[in-house]
Chains A and B, each alone.
Chain A
Amino acid sequence: MSLWGHSSSETLSRMLDEMLDVKEQAATRKHLATCLECEHRLRAAAKVKQALGSMPPLEGNPLEMLQPPVFVPIIRPAFPLLGFVIGLIAGLVLLAGFLSLRPMHTPMKIISAPTALIASEGPGKTELEPGEAVNTLVPGDVDLEIPHQVLLRLKPGTTMSWEERNRAWLFGGRPNIVLNVMRGEVLARTQDRFWGSHLAIRTPTAIAMVKGTALSVKVEPDQDATTLKVLAGQVFFSPYLDKVGMNVRSGQTSQIQGKRLPSPAQALSPAERKQLLDTYRIGLDPTAALVVGGGPERVEELLQPALLFLSFNHHPGLQPFIRNLVEELNAALLEGGLSSQVNRVQALEVAVVGISDPGLAVPLRMYVGACEISLGKVLRGRSHFHWVMDRNPQHPQASLALAALGVTAEKQLHNPELAQAAFQQLLSQYPRSPEVSLAREFLSRYSRPSRGN
């Protein structure tokens, strides 16, 4: 009820639409029976409702019924997802920028300097700051390391300095390393985190741009010559400050004399290849696959007897199968594709288990064992070496299997006692084998602390 005793417009309107409850409706009806004004307003509202209700609907275009318009929905990613992606990219860019601002240089570690090392601050140093020079005197090698990037071995009579340039903004600020070799010979091998980094080796006559590889650079100032030998990967070799050069690939060597262009690449001789295998022993950190310090070249060397055996004994089915598998595996080892390596090693292992002829089985087992170890499967790899030792102790590669057991016991299993036993057995059982020097080196290294005690 309104202030003056009449029903409100809303009450009348609700009554018209039957939206009042029973009690309200009864009260309103009772009031309407006695109030002409409210009844008049109710009738007016009802008339309005009726007039509006009788308005005819507007018909659309009948043609649209027959042929309705075609709407093409716009499909686009929801805004929150887009915003998240944009935010993520912006965050990554900012993070990369932040990383590029962190301190630039990492000191170069001196891993071993068995004889004379003359640096700018004298002997006894453990690290080399960028810009410092180092001279090595005969006899002995000096092993250096930029952690996770490059391993270096300076041969006697080498003078070298190094510097680290501004890191690239991208790649999280990967090092840009420059080695200045004035004289002597440097062996270099890049390490696991080298990807995205730059290594340039400069000499008075040449510059070598390195991409993930093992190599040596020899500088002969008297002859104004720089010789490059590449064991694996490839190196862009050019006259100093000249952009014209050539790619020297795995197993090749080239020389630059004076300001001339590099000489045509030639194949490495067996002696040179053997010498370059030392790159895998720098810092006593040989890749596990290389058994006793050899690189992929050594792995191939392990397999040579097997391939010779196959060619002499005419196994028409087995020969191409193993040859193809080995070629693919060698490529995978050099390129570092882990899954392809695993698949091929497993296929080869299945084939090897069924072969009993020692002429083929021993080199294949050595090869497969080395590959297994390179993939981190140490015990499986060692089981192949054990097989060689137990079943074919007279085979020419048996001493190598024993040496491999010793090396893997030391490096992978971290068990010096086991390694010592293997090397002592090697000395006693195969005193004239090529691995004797390795065994002696190991035993002498581990016998020093006992002498001190």
Chain B
Amino acid sequence: MMTNPREEKRPFSGYSKWSEPTPVESEAPPESDAQLMRMAQQGDSQAITALYMRYRRKVLNYLYRLTGNRHVAEEMTQETFLRVVKHLPSYRPTGSVGGWIFRIAKNLALNSFRDRKGIQELSLEESLPSQNSDEEKDGPHRAEVIADCKDSPQEAAGHREVEREVQGALLKVAPVFREVLILCDIQGYAYREAAEILQCSINTVASRLARGRAKLAELLGYLKEEI
């Protein structure tokens, strides 16, 4: 039985929740994000590493779902944190640190869409391989996920097929709706938190989310099912 990722997700409400460590990140220092940023601005390289360990997985998943390409997402994750380091001196603590990092990641991805048209189509084939070749293409990480899920091979293959379809449809949705779907429905952020990351109003998030869901339902054929 596959574990529901929503159960792992922590409710994201309020500034302090940004710094709450996930089980994987339990070795991170207990400082808050703001403290880590201050330390990093004073030249503490360990503080940057702690921030990286805290946000790496979230940013990676966000970028992976946004681009549909694991390798591109990993590259962008690295680039995101390099930009975090580069722009450390000019950082002003006006919002949450996580929101700032996500905005950098989002801008990177959107720039990439502008510069490299067609990345979605290329990445779809690469990142969501067919059943026959998934082991060699996805490598050990994907295998780990499957092992963790403790599903039977048939169930795992079924889930993989659903995931491939959903991801394919997601990449066909316009990026403004896609990013809201990723933040709210995949990563489980509340409207307010998504609004902070995307720097828009809560109503805009709600509207984009509704339109994104409707478009995705249409693409996945959920609306064609018999009433």
Which residues does A use to contact B, with CB under 8 Å? Answer: 8-10, 12-14, 17, 19, 36-37, 40-41, 43-45, 47-49, 51-62, 64-65, 68-79
B70 sits at the interface (CB 8 A):
yes
Contact sample, A vs B, 29 pairs, CB 8 Å cutoff: A9-B210, A9-B214, A10-B207, A13-B206, A17-B184, A17-B191, A41-B214, A41-B223, A47-B220, A48-B222, A51-B162, A52-B185, A52-B216, A53-B5, A54-B4, A56-B163, A57-B8, A57-B57, A58-B145, A61-B74, A62-B144, A64-B56, A68-B53, A71-B45, A71-B48, A72-B45, A73-B44, A77-B89, A79-B90
10 closest pairs, A vs B, by CB?
A: A13-B210, A52-B185, A71-B48, A44-B222, A44-B217, A10-B210, A9-B210, A45-B213, A40-B227, A48-B213
Chain A minimum-CB-distance residue to B227 = A40
Q: Chain A nearest CB: distance from B38 CB in Å?
A: 11
Q: Does B116 contact A (CB under 8 A)?
A: no
Contacting residues, chain B, for A59 (C-beta < 8 A): 57, 141, 144-145
Cβ-neighbour of B227 out of A12, A36, A47, A71 (below 8 A): A36
Interface pick from B80-88, B96-104, B118-126? B80-88
A49 close to B213 (CB less than 8 A) = yes
Q: Is A55's CB under 8 angstroms from B65's CB?
A: yes
Q: Report if A65-B24 is in contact (Cβ < 8 Å); known contacts: A53-B185, A59-B57, A74-B85.
A: yes
Is B217's CB under 8 angstroms from A55's CB? no
Q: Tell which of A56, A60, A69, A76 has the most Cβ of chain B within 10 Å.
A: A56
Minimal beta-carbon separation of A17 from chain B (angstroms) = 7
Chain B residues near A36 (CB-CB < 8 A): 227
Shortest CB-to-CB span from B25 to chain A, Å, is: 9
Chain B hits for A55, CB < 8 A: 5, 65, 163, 166-167, 186
Rounded to whole angstroms, the CA-CA distance of A43 and B163 in the bound complex is 19
B49 CB-CB contact with A under 8 Å: yes
Closest residue of B by beta carbon distance from A51? B166
A61 to chain B, nearest CB (A): 7
* Bound Cα distance from A76 to B90, whole angstroms: 10
- CB neighbours of B64 from chain A (8 A): 58
- Contact code string B30-46 (vs A, CB < 8 Å = 1, else 0): 00000000001111110
How distant is A4 from chain B, measured CB to nearest CB, in Å?
16
Give B53's nearest chain A residue, CB to CB. Answer: A68
Asked whether, in the complex, the Cβ of B90 is within 8 Å of the Cβ of A48, the reply is: no
Q: Which among B65, B149, B188, B210 has the greatest number of chain A C-beta atoms within 10 A?
A: B210
Q: Which residues of A contact B163 (CB under 8 A)?
A: 54-56
- A40–B64 Cα gap in the complex (Å)? 31
**Most B-side CB within 10 Å, residue of A40, A71, A74:** A71
Per DSSP, chain B at the interface is helix
- Which residue in B6, B141, B166 is a CB contact (below 8 Å) of A61? B141
Q: Are B65 and A48 in contact (CB under 8 A)?
A: no
Residues of chain B within 8 A (CB-CB) of A75 are 41-43, 89
- Chain B residues in 8 Å Cβ range of A76: 89
> Complex: how many Å from CA A54 to CA B149?
12
* A60 CA / B40 CA spacing, docked (Å): 23
Complex alpha-carbon distance, A73 and B78, angstroms: 15
Given A9-B214, A56-B163, 17 additional A-B pairs, CB 8 A: A19-B191, A37-B227, A40-B225, A41-B223, A47-B222, A48-B185, A53-B186, A56-B5, A58-B57, A59-B141, A60-B60, A71-B45, A71-B48, A71-B82, A73-B44, A75-B43, A78-B89
Question: Closest residue to B51 on the A side, CB-wise?
Answer: A71
- A16, closest chain B residue (CB): B213
Within the complex, the shortest CB–CB distance from A7 to chain B, in Å, comes to 11
- Whole-angstrom distance from the CB of B31 to the nearest CB of chain A? 15
> Which residues of chain B in 134-169 are interfacial with respect to chain A, using CB atoms and an 8 Å cutoff?
141, 144-145, 149, 159, 162-163, 166-167
Q: Which residues of A contact B57 (CB under 8 A)?
A: 57-60
Docked-complex contact A69 and B86, CB < 8 angstroms = no
B52 in contact (CB, < 8 A): yes
Indicate if B209 sits at the interface (CB-CB under 8 A): yes
Bound state CA distance, A58 and B57, in angstroms? 8
Q: Is B2's CB within 8 Å of the partner chain A? A: yes
Across-interface contacts of A56 in B (CB, < 8 A):
2, 5, 145, 149, 159, 163
How far is A60 from B44 in the complex, measured between Cα atoms in Å?
24
Which residues on A sit within 8 Å (CB–CB) of B85?
71-74
Measured in the bound complex, the distance between the Cα atoms of B83 and A410 in whole Å is 73
Chain B 185-227 per-residue mask, 1 if CB under 8 angstroms from chain A, else 0: 1101001000000000000001101110110110010110101
Residue B19 lies at the interface, judged by CB distance under 8 Å to chain A: no
Bound-state CA distance A19–B57 (Å) is 28
Say if the beta carbon of B73 comes within 8 Å of chain A.
yes
CB atoms of B209 and A13 under 8 A apart: yes
Which residue on chain B has the smallest CB distance to residue A56?
B145
